[in-house]
Amino acid sequence: MIKLNVNGTTHQADVNPDTPLLWVLRDTLHLTGTKYGCGIAQCGACTVHLDGTPVRSCITPVSSAVGHKITTVEGIDADRVGKAVQEAWRRLDVVQCGYCQSGQMMSAVVLLTENRKPSDADIDDAMAGNLCRCATYQRIRAAIHEAARSLA
């Protein structure tokens, strides 16, 4: 039995320790906001926070998350930065198909936690590991700037 702290709640999962964290979140804990994209940590759709650091849950063994604070997109509204990102995403209608957006928001939260006044170059660097097949990159960048303004 594996114990996990996800979004501030302790969960127990009877899973193989090598199971990717993504599948435990989605299939065992039914937190389906985190998406499967590529399975090789290249697209960013599966991004979650492990103690505030973005990780690709598709390649992260669940055993390596034990004893750490895991935050999924369902839990980012627990702090001011996460709420600002969610609100900017809604206000600017960022989402097109939406598949990558949970990973995009998770990366944006980390960026704005570390840098409240990011430049376009800062945003591009921080978001480079998150792919969007609908190419909403301009709206994503605009939403990050909007969230940053609301946090000032």
Q: What is the dihedral of CA 141, 94, 129, 148, to 10 degrees?
A: 40
The predicted-structure confidence for 36-48, as pLDDT tens digits, reads as follows 999 999 999 999 9
Whole-model pTM: value is 0.95
Could you tell me where in the chain the CATH 3.10.20.30 domains are found?
2-75
Rounded to an integer, what distance in angstroms lies between the CA atom of residue 55 and that of residue 49? 6
Confirm if 143 and 81 have CB atoms less than 8 A apart: no
- Residue 91: its H or E element: helix 80-91
Rounded to an integer, what distance in angstroms lies between the CA atom of residue 123 and that of residue 11? 34
Rounded to an integer, what distance in angstroms lies between the CA atom of residue 107 and that of residue 113? 10
Residue 19: C-alpha distances to residues 25, 27, 59, 103 (Å)? 10, 11, 9, 20
In CATH terms, is domain 2-75 a member of 3.10.20.30?
yes
Could you tell me where in the chain the CATH 1.10.150.120 domains are found?
79-151
Q: Name which CATH class applies to 79-151.
A: mainly alpha
* pLDDT tens digit at each of 152 positions of the chain: 999 999 999 999 999 999 999 999 999 999 999 999 999 999 999 999 999 999 999 999 999 999 999 999 999 999 999 999 999 999 999 999 989 999 999 999 999 999 999 999 999 999 999 999 999 999 999 999 999 999 99
State the pLDDT at residue 61. 98
The DSSP code sequence of 14-73 is ---TTSBHHHIIIIIS--TTS--S-SSSSS-TTEEEETTEEEETTTSBGGGGTTSEEE-G
* Amino acid letter for position 66: V
Rounded to an integer, what distance in angstroms lies between the CA atom of residue 135 and that of residue 140? 9
